[in-house]
Amino acid sequence: MACPNQNNITMTRGDTTKWYFQRKDNDGNVITTRPSKLYFTVKSDPRNLTPVFQIQFPEMTLDEDGTIHFTILPSMTNGLDWRKQYYYDIEVIDAGVKTTISYGRFTLKPEVTWAQNEEGESE
């Protein structure tokens, strides 16, 4: 595995957001095999045991070219405070080896049209 990298994520609270990434080995080659386990975890504090939300296989898709993609659904962020700082990491467990491949801040921008504003809307 390549060294973990820090990438901050910013999205609008309550939106549907798709994320894509590739795992790479130490030489920079894309890893195309499916890991035993893979987690995208968001917490309000890294020291907390309980995540705010977590996505893992089989909610993620692995393409033949090694691209892994997953979707953050509106229900995962609707009730979160956009003024608060959150943290995330992506952790892989493969062949008994646990590796964090990415981590950083998970920031929510405020939404103006809330889910409650969308209900009863007619076209």
Residues 88-113: tens digit of each pLDDT: 999 999 989 999 999 999 999 998 88
Q: Which residues pair with 88 in a beta bridge?
A: 42, 104
Residue 2 has pLDDT above 60, yes or no: no
Calpha distance 46→33 (Å, rounded): 29
Residues 8-52: tens digit of each pLDDT: 999 999 999 999 999 998 899 999 999 999 999 999 999 999 999
Q: Where are the domains of the chain?
A: 5-106
Question: Which of 32, 96, 80, 33 lies closest to 88 in space, CA to CA?
Answer: 80
Residue 120 has pLDDT above 70, yes or no: no
Could you tell me the two tokens for 16?
Answer: 């549907």
Q: Which fold has domain 5-106?
A: Immunoglobulin-like (2.60.40)
Q: Which residues, in sequence order, are CB contacts of 81 under 8 Å at separation 6+?
A: 108
